[in-house]
Amino acid sequence: MPEHVVIIGSGPAGWAAAIYAARANLKPLLFEGAMLQEHFDNGRPPLGQLSLTTEVENYPGFPAGDLKPYLSSALDASRQSMLMMEEKRHAVTGPELMFLMRQQAENFGTRIVAEDITSVDFGGKPFKLTTSTQTVEAHTVIIATGASANYLGLPSEAAFKNRGVSACAVCDAALPRFANHPVAVIGGGDSAVEEATYLTKFASKVYLVHRRDELRASKIMAQRAEDNEKIEILWNSVVDEVLGDDQNGMTGLRLKSTVDDTTHDVEANGMFVAIGHTPNTAFLNGQIETNKKGYVKLTTPFRTYTSVEGVYAAGDVADEYYRQAITSAGTGCMAALDAERHLAELGM
Ligand code: NAP
């Protein structure tokens, strides 16, 4: 028997879709991805980008406080042992938030498979989804595989991830290690400028490091960065090495000129990489319409419809603009409601 709803992906969009689909009695089957080291290395682990972050201060419903008693009562014992709940922090952490969402979906009867969907067949109905061990059939599919932040790929960058190196200023800028210290943003697009501007609220100074002599960002955003006294743009520069040590984490950057290859060091407690994201859509193998960058195209405003009827997309996989946990969760809910209505039209 084909499944009513299969959800692919285990970030906020996937779990929100699962909670809604499960509560609508659709018995969703969710593929959360395989626990492979290569997925962690490539920035797309099970439970999504939030599982790679520390505190999450902007997800509504989780203000600062001692969450330990709540987490102990809400989560399965097996999950609790995977968290460091005794650590002091200002808010819920990314992994905790994801475990809570996962638990909530499971409580309502979501069946969870720790495998990757490696290929899909949307050519006929029911749809077919294949992993390394099985093929499942489904009347509706929700794609919620997210996007992965692009990193520079330097070993020193990997060494200081979460200890100075971040790919999300909105998530991390207010953390104590950045307050009143110099930080750097890498990139020259709208995201880099937006992140740099946002960081000026917390950091003592923000270097914007761009590899060319002109920003890619829109004129108005670029002007805003150039006019901001706290932002210093370092033109024609790339990161040669992230500097730091075990005790202090990141302490600076060695920059290399793209003009003459000379290097110089700048002091910085943080490096925010804003050089774009890559949506996790390769497994779709062109069977769903995407834009030039690979993001799933939604065909109708305020709906999660894709180019294939019965296939929906939610979260960052279809959104290169907002990219927040709360917007992902919101569209996950929408996708489940869209799938439920489609099934009702089919009399299921
Ligand atoms: P983007 O426009 O693709 O810009 C990426 C930037 O990173 C470019 O400046 C690029 O340099 C640089 N870059 C790429 N690879 C690099 C590498 N390996 N080393 C150093 N630099 C590298 O991406 P985005 O800024 O994330 O924006 C994505 C989309 O969201 C855009 O359409 C943007 O307009 C939109 N957005 C809008 C807003 C807003 O309106 N408020 C805010 C954020 C994002 P080059 O310029 O040399 O290629």
- Where do the H-state alpha helices sit in the chain? 12-23, 37-41, 68-74, 77-80, 94-107, 155-159, 169-172, 190-199, 219-227, 325-345
Q: How far is the CA of 17 from the centre of ligand 1 (A)?
A: 29
Sheet with 263-267, edge to edge strand ranges: 237-245, 249-257, 263-267
Chosen domain end from 241, 273, 305? 273
- Polymer length of the chain: 348
Statement to judge: residues 117 and 171 lie in one domain? no
CATH number of the structural domain spanning residue 209: 3.50.50.60
Domain boundary among 225, 244, 273: 273
Helix residue ranges per DSSP H, 93-178? 94-107, 155-159, 169-172
Q: Specify the residue with its C-alpha closest to ligand 1, atom 23.
A: 276
Work out the angle at residue 278's Cα, subtended by the Cα atoms of residues 322 and 168, and round it to the nearest 5 degrees. Answer: 50
Same domain, 136 and 247: no
Q: Reduce the DSSP state of residue 23 to 3 states and report it.
A: helix
Pick the residue whose CA is nearest to atom 9 on ligand 1: 188
Ligand 1 centroid distance, CA of 195 (Å) = 11
Return the pLDDT at 86: 59
* Ligand 1 centroid to residue 193 C-alpha, Å: 9
Judgement on whether residues 185 and 208 belong to the same structural domain of the protein: yes
**Mutational pocket test of ligand 1: of 208, 216, 218, 219, the residue with most ligand atoms within 8 Å of the beta carbon:** 216
Cα(281)–Cα(57) distance, integer angstroms: 29
Last residue in a domain, options 255, 273, 291? 273
User: Domain check: are 141 and 282 in the same one?
Assistant: yes
Q: What is the pTM of this model?
A: 0.82
**pLDDT string in tens for the chain (348-residue length):** 999 999 999 999 999 999 999 999 999 999 999 998 778 767 788 999 888 776 788 899 998 888 888 998 999 988 887 876 656 666 888 889 999 999 999 999 999 999 999 999 999 999 999 999 999 999 999 999 999 989 999 999 999 988 999 988 877 888 899 999 999 999 999 989 989 998 999 999 999 999 999 999 999 999 999 999 999 999 999 999 999 999 999 999 999 999 999 999 999 999 999 998 999 999 999 999 999 999 999 999 999 999 999 999 999 999 999 999 999 999 999 999 999 999 999 999
> Is there a single domain that holds both residue 234 and residue 172?
yes
The token pair that represents 106 in the structure block? 């499971």
Query: Does one domain contain both 104 and 42?
Result: yes
Residue 211 domain boundaries: 155-273
Q: Which residue reads 């060494």 in tokens?
A: 159
DSSP string, 220-241: HHHHHHHH-TTEEEE-SEEEEE
